[in-house]
Structure 1
């Protein structure tokens, strides 16, 4: 009877251990699946972010190039305006020296933007 009780007790302990190990392995498996799904989602997000970043860098470089070309154009235009103003003032001075223009209000000199 005592051996029968010990044998039953050992069987129950072994059965309990098997159940605990089964539940633990199910929990671990579920946890690993969840972690794997999260990792896959993070990898996908990372790839999308990398693509977006590369596009943003390209657009930024285009914008910098545009700003550089705009600045060059504005500088060239400003130099041309300065040359026209200098030439117009020289012509005006020469005309005034000759005495042909007495009143500045009636002057026909107009500076325009290009």
Structure 2
């Protein structure tokens, strides 16, 4: 799992050619706000083999139980957005559609997108 909590990591740490444009789009969407990215969003990128318990501990909530604010499907990825506070701060979770990713998580994403 890759966790990005500050502007530098959000802007520069993704090398996956299918994920980088998704994060670039998110940065662009948030660019209208006059504050540091770390004050608006944290990003979590799930890796194959990550246990749901580990993901939940990192997020501070149970991923499968918390209602989604937005979910989008992209080629090879699900993008899950959770708004955590009234000021708009949130977390965006990128779930790869790959072998080794918890099947319950993939199924949750597929059911939520419908």
| TM norm structure 2 | 0.22
| TM norm structure 1 | 0.22
Higher relative contact order (CA 8 A, sep 6+): 2
Q: Which has the higher helix share?
A: 1
Larger Rg: 1
